[in-house]
Amino acid sequence: MGKQEDTRKLIIESAFSLIYENGFQGVGVREIAENANLTIGAFFYHFPTKNQVGYAIIEEFLSKGIMERWILPLEGYENPIEGMIKTYKKTFDSWPDEFVSRGCPLNNLGQEMSAIDAEFQKKAKALLTTWIKHTKKYLDFAKKQKILNANTDTKKLAEFIVTFQEATFAMGKVMNDRKVYDSLYISFKQHLESHCI
């Protein structure tokens, strides 16, 4: 990666950390530049507007994080349902205490900005659609392997799984208590297992 790409990545990561803590509208360009130890001019060289860095957070940073957290681990399981259950448990068991009250980064950004800027809604929708599509791919494999019931609608189940993954972050945020993760894990596990043969 060249210096320009490194700087761009640094801006995205610095913006994300501030936005995840304070919300998109609670952070200014000056704060992002200072957090990245850059000038405002360097920020604007890479991103003409603050909204542009928000789009990059969704398309580049959150997209990568979702794939690494929820999808790629499933490659290591012969039984994708077992993989989804274990990945869910691992994710919430290891989620840092200081992030519990912050919720799901994609959900936060999408909810805050979708009504204000249609491009945020479009990009958040595209990422959610991709997340659901990849989840469905593993459910289709499980169905083909006769792990899932033949009558399971894998599109609907994929939508449920992604919604539940996001909603778990939301419940942790509102309750500000990681104990909710344990009870939701039991419900998640039971629901997925109810679709298995």
Rounded distance, CA 193 to CA 23, Å? 36
pLDDT at 34: 98
Whether 1 shows a pLDDT value over 80: the answer reads: no
One fold for 1-48 and 51-194: no
Task: Kindly report the CATH number that applies to the domain delimited by 51-194.
Answer: 1.10.357.10
Q: Which CATH architecture has domain 1-48?
A: Orthogonal Bundle (1.10)
Q: Which of 162, 159, 140, 157 is nearest to 66 (CA)?
A: 162
pLDDT, tens only, 52-101: 999 999 999 999 999 999 999 999 999 999 999 999 999 999 999 999 99
77-103 as b/e: b if 16+ CB within 10 A: bebbbbbbbbbbeebbeebeeeebebb
Whether 134 shows a pLDDT value over 80: the answer reads: yes
- Count, residues in the chain: 197
pLDDT, tens only, 17-51: 999 999 999 999 999 999 999 999 999 999 999 99
Sequence ranges of the domains in the chain: 1-48, 51-194
> Rounded to two decimals, what is the model's pTM?
0.95
